[in-house]
Structure 1
Amino acid sequence: MEMDRTSIVGIVLIMILFVTWQYVTAPSAAEIEMEQRYQDSIAALSDQELIEENDPKFVPEGGAVSTASDSLRLVENRSRFGGFAPAAAGTEEEVVLENDLMQVTFSTKGGTIRRAELKNYAKVIEQDGNEEVRLPLLLLNDDQNKFEYIIPVNGVSGEGVRTSDLYFEPTIEGNTVSLRAPVDGGGYLEQRYTLEDGTYLLDYDVRFEGMDEVIANTGGTVRLYWENHLDKIEKNSQYEGNYSTLYYKPVDDDTDYCSCTSDDVEELDDQPLKWVAGSQQFFTSALIADDRFSSAVLTTVADRERLADDELKVLISELNLPVGTSGSETFGMAFYVGPNEFERLRAIGYDLSDVVSFGSSIFGSINRWIIRPLFNFLSSFIGNMGITILVLTLIVKLLLYPLTYKMLVSQSKMQVLKPEIEKLKAKHKDDAQAQQMETMKMYQEYGASPLGGCLPMVVQMPIWFALYRFFPASISFRQENFLWANDLSTYDSILRLPEWIPFMQGHLSLFAVLWAVTTVIYAYYNSRHMDYSAQPMMKYFQYIMPIAFLGFFNSFAAGLTAYLFFSNVFNILQTVITKNFIIDDDKLRAKLEANKAKPKKKGGFSARLQEALKEQQRQQAATQGKKGK
């Protein structure tokens, strides 16, 4: 049977595809050599087994007893690790670098940091009976941590060889430790760390030497996988968790970060990075490239169901290094493992100080360039940070006193005009709209404003919002004592409460209670002569509000609640002194009468207000006329 043209074309195409597939999948010369070495090892193993069957006590040249299991392990290592087989067996050891600030311990298995102890800081835990115990503060110390290069190797299937499975040979010279993993042919993979005095910054280089026949050609990249399990360090772990995440700095863009409160994944395939940092509330572990990481995938795990009880978060950084195109390459980096000290991080450069959670908006700028320098200046000659907060509060209140004085004068005007307001209410007791219009007209005639007391509060709001971020982010307040508070960066617990009480989180903060009490006192003193007939609920809301917010401030930094308490005390003192000794009600009443007697300018806001009032009166009269008919 003759074949049609379509069938012939199809068979030819299939043959072409088959030949092409055979060519593409054919092993390279290096893979053929690797396979031959593997077969030779199998043959050698078989010969050895025959010798041992005939003479179990056979001792080869050199005196070392050889076993079939050892030979089989060599064969397995060759299959799993390819050219890295010489580094696949060994004994794990620890080596140490130390300076005046920290002690860094390295493991020869994987060639990575096993733990870093910061000498000038401590971790404080509470035992039964509220007893506090100070422990060494360790970073990068979780047993589940991983820091490994995934290297594609000729003859090894899958992703390649993971350096966490290799044993590195250590060499210490002064303040430098070199960790080398040998490869076939005399080459090696080296991780080199250098630690100078007075710094938390380790110089870190990874060197690929004589590995052009070992590394498979994958486009010139090697992947670094860094999995950092953050352990709980601070007393308020919930708050610590909200300030912990992965930060990263694109080469040509501003610093960014993953979500602080939920699981997150950032795929940065086409965005080279300068650095990536796993930051906790007060401490950071950052990897900074001398040049750049070519791309990255960053993952944060914050879901409590996916974390162990003692874990805060898991931070995973997958970084691509642009290496692997030649036989000898070095990729330079720096490893920062230390506290979030703003000036220290700023001196490193590359916007690394952005890991300090002062905020990224206008409030962050206020914290960085106004509040922080002011605190540093005050604390340079004041030994206690609580006293520094008190002095800062006094300075803020003195600077804002001109506005506060205007606010108190405005309140006094309302108090002086209260009899006139009562007359208007009596005159228009059945017409709330008329009361409102006549009251507004009277305010305009006397030159008074019920909103005159709002300006100082509005001006202070940026300071409040900035301090809301400043105290829990500034390491200067960590574990600083003041009065009953033993740590101004977290809540000042004076009483344990049952966990079932909502919003209180099992404790009672005295500074938060004092803030709530003084807020109620201040509100009462200010509202004694105010008229709440139009909005009666406002009279009670000003007392309910501080009680409702007590649950919020109860777990906040004692530094902030102390500031708010001091601020209320100064507000009360300023109000009492100003109203009783500075403002003269008789002179103020005479000034108001003089304002009323002055001719009012036509046009502008006053004219528009008068016209609006008249229009409302006309509409009201027209509405009442229609109802009368």
Structure 2
Amino acid sequence: MDDQNKNLILATALSFLVILVWFVLFPPEEPVTDPNAPVVEETDTARALPPAQGGDPAAPVATAEGPREDVEAEAPRVAVETPSLSGSISLLGGRIDTLALRDYQEEIAPGSPNVQLLSPLGSANPYYALFGWAPGGALGFEDVPGANTLWQVEGNDTLTPETPVTLVWDNDAGLTFRRTISIDDEYLFTVEQSVENATGEPVRVAPYGIVARQGEPDTTGFFILHEGVVRMSDGELEEIDYDDMPELEADERWGPNADVIPVTENGWLGFTDKYWMTTLIPEPGQGFLSVAQYVPGRDAYQTESRLPTLEVAPGEIASSTQLLFAGAKEWETIREYQNDRGIAGFIDSIDWGWFFFLTKPIFAVLHWLNGLIGNMGWSIIVLTLMIKALLFPLAYKSYVSMAKMKELQPEMEKIKEKAGDDRQKLQQEMMGLYKKEKVNPASGCLPILLQIPIFFSLYKVIFVTIELRHAPWIGWIRDLSAPDPSSILNLFGLLPYAAPSPDSFLAIISLGILPILLGISMWLQQKLNPAPTDPTQAMVFAWMPWVFMFMLGQFASGLVLYWIANNTITFIQQYAIMRSQGYKPDLFGNIMRSFQRKKPQEK
């Protein structure tokens, strides 16, 4: 591999980065919408739920009291109060449908409201969880509680980690249904459903849980991030984007646009956003049907866990338990649920991406460093030092090779002049020179190639993990997941007007302090590398730092901080190694003579 091929590899890698930057600055819009309650099919003898039972968030359902939205607004509620959550449960249907996250605000600004995760019917975007029973055998839908059933509270009327609540409904035909809901200090609900049979005849019912959405969710809509259905089925992770759900194939028992997976032992499913998630989790070891479905004509999306049908003998009580996660995708919390509650593969509900084998350990180390240091910005810098230390043996060979390549440039120019247009002779002469001087031109490419997946992995970590959301570093950097808010257009706050909005066309030239430092660090690092002999390549590489300075100006501050730290450490390493090899870098001299061979001391 000659010098030109090496530069070609580098240019290709940089072009790949440019493509990523383009999508970051101009991300495709990703429409999304969501549902309500179930449209389930028969499991054994348990029948499908009709619209009035399962509920249709898109269209009001007439009841004896009036349209569902009006009834819902007047329905009594049970309060939910925990250290992490606040909200309520509607006794109409027993839906968990109002939930806010106490520890997370919409914006950094003081007074910003808490993030609202779940919303009831009648709101702009209904999003809730519903549990119930599907009838089987001789039972009809009027014999089991549905979405319009008005439950009664039995005992305590406020759900806290110390006080579960129990809802009860009697069908006046010998069946009494109870639902006991408990919650921990974080985001995990436990929903135990039971039915007591006093009819004198055996009955068959199938318990289910549903997470439903209605209307278009407010999503990031960026191609590297999954938002939509996420589910684990016996160790197999599946992700379905919202816009792919209408394209789901029909299931002969569940109808059109339904994806049904029989789960043997362990699984979970629900909807995931960038930072938040609502997930149904049947008890570990419990088999069930995992259903992701789009309801045509109603712009409705839903996930359902249908458990096996239970036969309840006369005088007996049958029960079924499911878990519901509704909250923030905190790595430590989710990992604890996976390890302590036996929820298999739950950590994969975080979108680790294709490079999961890198993103997972990178985040684990970053989280550990943050625990020691207490600041994500400094943790990113320390993580960069650790990564550079791991790659140093390769980097050392690369920098030594670059120094030798620079020394050989005058001889290489002579060979090119001598060979003229004879490419074969040029290659032979070049290879002979490399062999004679024991130089490997390809050795400089390996560290660059290794750096690319590490860069993308860290970008993924910073982009998707909630631990970087609203995480401050120093001074003006109060959110490492957002672009640098400072701007050269107002002299970094010295002039009495605000910086342009990120949505403004001026945003791309509204450079902050970090992007400018990034451009300078790239330029300094470039000055240490052998300049391409081709004038066009030399011009492209000369402009590259400044192009990237503008293009990466709207990247997350945490990623820009990583790149600045990486460039700075690389520059220090390369400068020191080249000095140790007898070369004195001339940073501000002509690019074509950026290294000068030291004269050997006379004896």
TM-score, with structure 1 as normaliser: 0.66
Q: Which residue of 2 aligns with 1:353?
A: 347
2:359 pairs, out of 339, 344, 367, with 367
Rounded to whole Å, the distance in 2 between the matches of 1:445 and 1:261 is 60
Contiguous gaps of at least 5 residues in structure 1? 1-75, 79-87, 126-130, 308-313, 592-629
1:176 shift after superposition: 0.9
Q: Which residue of 2 aligns with 1:276?
A: 269
1:260 shift after superposition: 6.8
1:180 aligns with 2:180: no
Q: Which residue of 2 aligns with 1:496?
A: 500
Rounded to whole Å, the distance in 2 between the matches of 1:162 and 1:505 is 56
Alignment partner of 2:478: what SS?
coil
Alignment partner of 1:185: what SS?
coil
1:199 aligns with 2:186: yes
Residues 304-453 of structure 1 mapped to structure 2, 5 A cutoff: 315-326=301-312, 328-349=317-338, 350-359=344-353, 361=354, 363-368=355-360, 370-453=361-444
1:372 shift after superposition: 2.6
1:140 shift after superposition: 1.4
Distance 1:532 1:229, change over 3 A: farther
Rounded to whole Å, the distance in 2 between the matches of 1:90 and 1:423 is 85
1:512 shift after superposition: 4.5
Number of residue-to-residue matches in the alignment: 478
Q: Which residue of 2 aligns with 1:583?
A: 581
When Rg is computed on C-alpha atoms for both structures, the one with the higher figure is: 1
Residues 77-156 of structure 1 mapped to structure 2, 5 A cutoff: 92-124=75-107, 133-142=111-120, 143=123, 144-148=126-130, 149=132, 151-152=134-135
Distance 1:229 1:373, change over 3 A: same
Alignment partner of 1:448: what SS?
coil
Identity of aligned residues (%): 23
Rounded to whole Å, the distance in 1 between the matches of 2:217 and 2:511 is 22
Which stretch of the first structure deviates more once superposed, 504-513 or 223-232? 504-513
2:456 pairs, out of 465, 489, 497, with 465
Q: Which residue of 2 aligns with 1:564?
A: 563
Q: Which residue of 1 aligns with 2:290?
A: 296
CA displacement, residues 296-340 of structure 1 (integer Å, 9 cap, x when unaligned): 321479x9x998xxxxxx751133232353253211111222221
Rounded to whole Å, the distance in 1 between the matches of 2:528 and 2:508 is 32
Alignment partner of 1:221: what SS?
strand
Rounded to whole Å, the distance in 2 between the matches of 1:544 and 1:460 is 21
Does the Cα contact within 8 Å between 1:140 and 1:228 map onto a contact in 2?
no
Q: Which residue of 2 aligns with 1:189?
A: 177
Does the Cα contact within 8 Å between 2:397 and 2:443 map onto a contact in 1?
yes
Does the Cα contact within 8 Å between 1:275 and 1:286 map onto a contact in 2?
yes
1:163 aligns with 2:163: no
Q: Which residue of 2 aligns with 1:487?
A: 479
CA displacement, residues 34-58 of structure 1 (integer Å, 9 cap, x when unaligned): xxxxxxxxxxxxxxxxxxxxxxxxx
Question: Structure 2 counterpart of 1:338, which letter?
Answer: G
Question: Structure 2 counterpart of 1:488, which letter?
Answer: L
Does the Cα contact within 8 Å between 1:97 and 1:195 map onto a contact in 2?
no
Does the Cα contact within 8 Å between 2:261 and 2:290 map onto a contact in 1?
yes
Alignment partner of 1:209: what SS?
strand
Residues 584-623 of structure 1 mapped to structure 2, 5 A cutoff: 584-585=582-583
Rounded to whole Å, the distance in 2 between the matches of 1:260 and 1:582 is 57
1:153 shift after superposition: 8.0
Question: Structure 2 counterpart of 1:345, which letter?
Answer: I
Rounded to whole Å, the distance in 2 between the matches of 1:365 and 1:187 is 52
1:175 shift after superposition: 0.9
Alignment partner of 1:110: what SS?
coil
Distance 1:155 1:289, change over 3 A: closer
Distance 1:402 1:443, change over 3 A: same
Does the Cα contact within 8 Å between 1:249 and 1:256 map onto a contact in 2?
yes
Rounded to whole Å, the distance in 2 between the matches of 1:506 and 1:425 is 41
1:215 shift after superposition: 10
1:244 shift after superposition: 2.1
Alignment partner of 2:83: what SS?
coil
1:410 shift after superposition: 0.7
TM-score, with structure 2 as normaliser: 0.69
1:259 aligns with 2:246: no
1:247 shift after superposition: 1.5
Does the Cα contact within 8 Å between 1:151 and 1:215 map onto a contact in 2?
no
Does the Cα contact within 8 Å between 1:189 and 1:209 map onto a contact in 2?
yes
CA displacement, residues 219-261 of structure 1 (integer Å, 9 cap, x when unaligned): x53554431359867xx833499342222121x3322221377
RMSD of aligned alpha carbons? 4.0
Distance 1:388 1:211, change over 3 A: farther
Q: Which has the higher helix share?
A: 1
Does the Cα contact within 8 Å between 1:205 and 1:333 map onto a contact in 2?
yes
Does the Cα contact within 8 Å between 1:97 and 1:104 map onto a contact in 2?
yes
Rounded to whole Å, the distance in 2 between the matches of 1:319 and 1:211 is 27
Question: Structure 1 counterpart of 2:196, which letter?
Answer: E
Distance 1:506 1:519, change over 3 A: closer
Rounded to whole Å, the distance in 2 between the matches of 1:408 and 1:506 is 34
Does the Cα contact within 8 Å between 1:375 and 1:392 map onto a contact in 2?
yes
Q: Which residue of 2 aligns with 1:596?
A: none
Alignment partner of 1:365: what SS?
helix
